[in-house]
Structure 1
């Protein structure tokens, strides 16, 4: 992001097949309902993340490879960043 900032989280889980990536931020969408039942997921987490990021004019990018894991990146434009200030003594 030119002049912006990114915060990424990477896991080494199951990974997500490419055909599901575009739908991951839909409310209640689950790639595998049987796996979600076992782990207690509701299908709301990434929908909430996308909504909160949109309130900050930011974007969510998801990259994944089945069998290798996923990376979830929050991308903020430079206009949404504050200048660093010196720590108070």
Structure 2
């Protein structure tokens, strides 16, 4: 989870610690796009040892 939740859903957003792998940084951008496409929202919160993502979708 990025330590910058305001940028967590940006395409290619990655933290310094995750820059060594082969990940693209697109996963949460896809989550945000899917939530928005279905009339919902996605939120990220930072935490000391990780973070959380909340997905709110209409019924």
Cα RMSD of the aligned pairs, angstroms, is 1.7
The residue aligned with 2:11 is: 27
Q: Does 1:72 align with 2:56?
A: no
Larger radius of gyration between Structure 1 and Structure 2: 1
Q: Any idea what SS the aligned residue of 1:72 has?
A: strand
Q: 1:49, CA displacement in angstroms?
A: 0.7
Of residues 57, 61, 64, the one that matches 2:43 is 61
The residue aligned with 1:47 is: 29
5+ long unaligned stretches in structure 1: 1-14, 82-89
TM-score by length of 2: 0.79
**What is the distance in 2 between the residues matched to 1:35 and 1:49?**
19
Runs of 4+, deviation exceeding 4 Å = none
5+ long unaligned stretches in structure 2: none
